[in-house]
Chains A and B, each alone.
Chain A
Amino acid sequence: MSKSNDPIWWSLFAGGGVVSAFFLPVLIVITGIAVPLGLTGNALAYERLHGIVSHPAVRLALFGLIALPLFHWAHRFRFLVVDMGLRGHPTAIAVLCYGAAIAGTLLTGTVLWHF
């Protein structure tokens, strides 16, 4: 069987899918509904939230929470674009998609490292 690096991208896709499926909806409800309705009280105050995010374990969790779904998007979008009709440039599309995810991951790591 010829070697392919698809398993790497698929694994990252799967990790991102699990992370986003289980953790994102509640976060979206918090930032999108609870905050505007004033239901969060003092919980998201600057000092409190800054303290929580400063914790290394929290920053590590945030890294996974942000970076993995980027790879989930990259893998799904790469094939979706072809399904939508953009055939003939498979390598370029793959490089752009995974490249964007890698760039996003590096940016995420930098922001969290220097927090």
Chain B
Amino acid sequence: MSPYDRPFPNTWWLQRRPYFLFVVREATAVFVAAYCVFLLVLVHRLGQGPEAYAGLLEALRSPASVVLHLIVLAFALFHSVTWINLTPKIMVLQVGAKKVSPRLIAAANFVAWAGLSAALAWLILGTA
């Protein structure tokens, strides 16, 4: 190890709030991927027939499933909010000499998020 390497502990991310929030943001990917694996299981069970699918629906009604979903939801929401808050950095729009306000870009993406969520819910649940 070079004498110029400043050693730092593996708990570096616990020492400052921004570091901690950064690691939480990166960790959201684990929970997001886990839910997508669940979606694959759901599709698979749906293809296996009514009994297999009914078994999965029944499991979704268990307290353990609700608790797991709430944890996954918390991380998924953190991912969505941090991701959309970064969209102004990626979508830099210029009108003439002025740049569109970053808050407007983020707000537009939040609105899009709400709209897409509503549309998907309507597609899945129907007009019930």
Contacts and interface: CB of A to CB of B under 8 A. Distances in A.
Contacts, number: 147
Interface residues of B, number: 51
Given A20-B32, A41-B128, A85-B10, A36 B65 contact: yes
A42 B127 CA distance: 11
23 contacts: A17-B83, A20-B36, A21-B84, A25-B73, A26-B120, A27-B39, A28-B76, A30-B124, A32-B60, A33-B69, A36-B61, A36-B62, A44-B125, A46-B54, A49-B53, A66-B40, A69-B32, A72-B32, A76-B29, A80-B26, A83-B23, A111-B44, A111-B47
Interface of B: 10, 13, 23, 26-27, 29-30, 32-33, 35-40, 42-44, 46-47, 50, 53-54, 57, 60-62, 65-66, 68-70, 72-73, 76-77, 79-80, 83-84, 112-113, 116-118, 120-121, 124-126, 128
